[in-house]
């Protein structure tokens, strides 16, 4: 707003107020007296501009956006710890609760036994970095009789602290949908706030009066593990359903399920850059498709059914340096866009090309 008010403009206005009968040239006493004041006034206008931006949620920095969101009863979601499944051999070895293991640069602690040889481990570091789907575990302290230890699955993904833009979006959404008393907005807000949940769809009265179904994705917008579904079910409406022991209002019988995955198999005809073929280009092609499908999954909560588009697939693949041209693209054997149901999300399958 104040970008046009510069030091030069301020100094010129100040000098114009001095009669021309006085020496106002650069280096004169009057000029030297006014110039420092013009600098300070320019700095004041710069700070006024900053203050104006911080006063509104759409331009506020994180510090002041958090203060603005607090007026709506909103706080940024904190970073969370991932929970993974570890398998140990021989299964007869008892792994102590609290035993610590390292995997790459991260440490994990055993916090629960699932069954013989299978345990839950919590990452000691917060955030998405702990979402390691597989890897060898090395015991930090010696465990007698232990032969192998591996991470085999992410049960509850860890999440990074909520970003500025995600918090800003949630702040503005709070004006569009008032979360209250078990309405759709209330269920979405409370479910998405649970550790490991990335998105939620609410189906009211799905099986008669008082029944509610929640379909969820995990924090990485993938089909959730059965462990995450169970955790969310217990938080929202545990075993004595409808009694108000969870987050659901009294009288609401809530069923929690995970969205289902639909594999996207791509068949096309590639023209490769010199020195490339399908095998060498495949990692880049897979990364491009993974990014596109994740962007789709991130919109799943607000869509009735996702559409995987051939044009988008071809565009993303053409962005890869290894590809010159692409044609005759098919999704799951058909040369047309693929429309998914409202409970399905797309995941990459195979990429085949000539």
- Low-confidence stretches of the chain (pLDDT < 50) are none
Report d(CA 323, CA 286) in Å as an integer: 13
What does the pLDDT read at residue 242? Answer: 74
Q: Which residues of 39-66 are buried (b: 16+ CB within 10 A; e: fewer)?
A: eebbeebeeeeeeeebeebeebeeebbb
pLDDT number for residue 256:
96
Calpha distance 135→121 (Å, rounded) = 13
Q: How many CA atoms lie within 13 A of 300 on its CB side?
A: 35
Burial class (CB in 10 A: 0-12, 13-18, 19+), 321: exposed
Question: What's the pLDDT tens digit per position in 130-180?
Answer: 999 999 999 999 999 999 999 999 999 999 999 999 999 999 988 887 778
**Residue 1 has what pLDDT?**
65
pLDDT at 176: 81
Q: What is the pLDDT of residue 25?
A: 87
Distances 70 to 81, 185, 252, 291 between C-alpha atoms, Å: 24, 18, 29, 33
Q: Please report where in the chains the tokens 């179904």 appear, as a residue.
A: 213
The predicted structure's pLDDT at residue 2? 66
Rounded to 10 degrees, the C-alpha dihedral 43/46/47/50 comes to -160
Give the start-end residues of each E strand in 220-308.
Answer: 253-258, 260-272, 307-308
Decide: 83 and 227 in contact? Cβ < 8 Å.
Answer: yes
The predicted pLDDT at position 137 comes to 96
Beta-sheet pairing, 344-353 with 260-272: parallel
């Amino acid at each position: 707003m104040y970008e046009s008010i510069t030091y030069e403009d301020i100094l010129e206005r100040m000098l114009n107020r001095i009669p021309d009968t006085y020496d106002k040239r650069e280096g004169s006493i009057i000029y030297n007296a006014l110039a420092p004041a013009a600098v300070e006034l320019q700095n004041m206008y710069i700070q006024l501009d900053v203050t104006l931006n911080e006063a509104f949620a759409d331009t506020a920095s994180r510090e002041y956006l958090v203060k603005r969101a607090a007026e709506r009863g909103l706080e940024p979601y904190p970073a969370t710890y991932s929970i993974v499944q570890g398998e140990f051999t021989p299964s007869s070895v008892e792994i102590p609760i609290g035993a610590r293991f390292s995997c790459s640069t991260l440490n994990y602690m055993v916090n629960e036994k699932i069954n013989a040889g299978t345990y839950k481990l919590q990452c000691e570091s917060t955030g998405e970095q702990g979402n390691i789907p597989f890897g060898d575990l090395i015991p930090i302290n010696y465990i007698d009789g232990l032969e192998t230890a591996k991470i085999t699955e992410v049960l509850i993904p860890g999440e990074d602290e909520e970003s500025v833009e995600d918090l800003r979006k949630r702040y503005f959404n709070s004006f569009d949908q008032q979360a209250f008393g078990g309405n759709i907005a209330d269920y979405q807000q409370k479910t998405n706030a649970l550790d490991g949940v990335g998105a939620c769809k609410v189906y009211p009265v799905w099986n008669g009066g008082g029944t509610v179904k929640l379909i969820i994705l995990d924090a990485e917008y993938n089909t959730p593990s059965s462990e995450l579904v169970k955790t969310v079910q217990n938080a929202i409406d545990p075993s004595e359903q409808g009694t108000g022991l969870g987050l659901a209002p009294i009288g609401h019988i809530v069923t929690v399920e995970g969205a289902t995955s639909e594999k996207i198999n791509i068949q096309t005809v590639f023209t490769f850059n010199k020195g490339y073929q399908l095998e060498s280009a495949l990692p880049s092609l897979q990364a491009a498709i993974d990014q596109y499908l994740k962007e789709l999954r991130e919109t799943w909560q607000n869509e009735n059914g996702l559409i995987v588009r051939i044009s988008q697939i071809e565009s993303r693949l053409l962005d890869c340096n290894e590809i010159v041209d692409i044609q005759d693209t098919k999704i799951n054997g058909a040369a047309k866009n693929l429309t998914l149901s409202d409970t399905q999300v797309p995941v990459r399958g195979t990429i085949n090309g000539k």
